[in-house]
Amino acid sequence: MTGPLVTLRRVVELLEAGGPFVQGTVVAAGVGAVASAGHRFAWRDGHDLEGATGDEAIDLAVARLAGAALVNEAPSESCIASDGARLALRRRLRDHDAAPGSLEVAWLPHVPQERLAIVGAGHVAVPLCALAATVGYAVTVIDDRERFATAARFPGAHEVLVRDFGMAIDAIGITPWTSVVLVTRGHEHDERCLAQVVSSTARYVGMIGSRRRVKVVYGRLCDAGVPAGALERIHAPIGLDLGGRSPEEIALAILAEIVLARRGGTGERLSGRRNPGIRRSAGVRD
C-alpha cells in the first residue's frame, strides 16, 4: 500500500526535529513506474519509509540507497530498476529516456551539526576549542573546576559545563555526529570517562597521554571487563604525528585526526602523490 505523500511541510517538520534523515526526490520516471517525477521520500534509520510506493522491491532499494546517502553525507543521485536493482546513472535523464518502470532519485541528506566534546579544560583545550569552532564544530567544554571552565577562556564554545565529568557526558548525549576528546588532568578521570564513552556511538574518541599512560589505562579497563575490541576504536595517544610541541600545535594535530576520521582521507602528503605531467613541467626527473 502506498504511504502518505511527503509534503514540503513534512520536510520542514523533520528539519525542525533535528534528527538525521534523507530526502529523496524522483527526478525522472520510466513508463509504468510506481512513482512519478516530483514524488518525495523521507528516510530515517529505524523508522518506516515515508512516501513508500507500496512496491516492496522499489521501497527496499530506496531505503538502502537512502541509508548509503546518509553515511556519505553528500547529495547524490541513483537510478533504480523496476525490480529494485541499481542501474547506471545517465546525465540529463528525462522521463522519456528512462527505462520502463525505473526511477531516478536525487538524495539530499540532512544531518545534525558535528559536535566536539572536549573533556578537560586545560591548556590544550583552549586552542582546540578555537580551531574546532572555526572548522564548524559545535564545541562543548567540560570540566569540574570553575576557574578553568569559563566562557571567557572558551569564547568559541557552544556551551561550557562546570560539572562532574561523568554527569556532564550523560547530559550532553553522544550521537554518531559527536567526537569526544579526553584531555583531563589525571589517570582516574581519563579511565572513568573512557569507560563511559568507549561503547558509545561517537564518531571519534581520543585520549591524550603518553604511550605508557595509555597502556596503564587500557590495562585497567581490560581488568574491569571492557572488551579489547572496544578499545581498538580509541585514538590514543591522540592526534596525528605532526611533530608539534606547543598546545596550539598539539590541538591542530588532534583536530586533524578528527577530520581524518570524519572524512575518510588518507593522511598522506598530497605533494607526495606523483603527477608525471606536473613533475616534467617543473623540470623534475622521475
| pLDDT tens-place string over residues 10-49 | 999 999 888 899 999 999 998 999 999 999 999 999 999 9
Whole-number Å distance between alpha carbons of 10 and 13: 5
Whether 285 has a pLDDT exceeding 80, the answer reads no
What angle in degrees, to the nearest 10, is found between the helix axes of 187-197 and 165-172? 30
Give the three cell numbers for residue 179: 567526537
Mean local confidence (pLDDT), 70-90 = 89
Confidence of residue 139 (pLDDT cuts 50, 70, 90): very high
Determine which helix (DSSP H) or strand (DSSP E) holds 160, and give its type and residue range: strand 159-162
Domains by residue range for the chain, with CATH: 11-110 (no CATH), 115-263 (3.40.50.720)
Which residues, including other chains, have CB under 8 Å from residue 38's CB and lie 6 or more apart?
Answer: 25, 26
Which residues, including other chains, have CB under 8 Å from residue 175's CB and lie 6 or more apart?
Answer: 112, 115, 201, 202
Whole-number Å distance between alpha carbons of 132 and 199: 24
Q: Give pLDDT, residue 135.
A: 95
Q: How far is CA 186 from CA 35, 80, 117, 163, 217, in A?
A: 59, 54, 18, 16, 10
Whole-number Å distance between alpha carbons of 225 and 155: 39
Q: How far is CA 176 from CA 1, 125, 134, 180, 285, in A?
A: 33, 22, 21, 11, 46
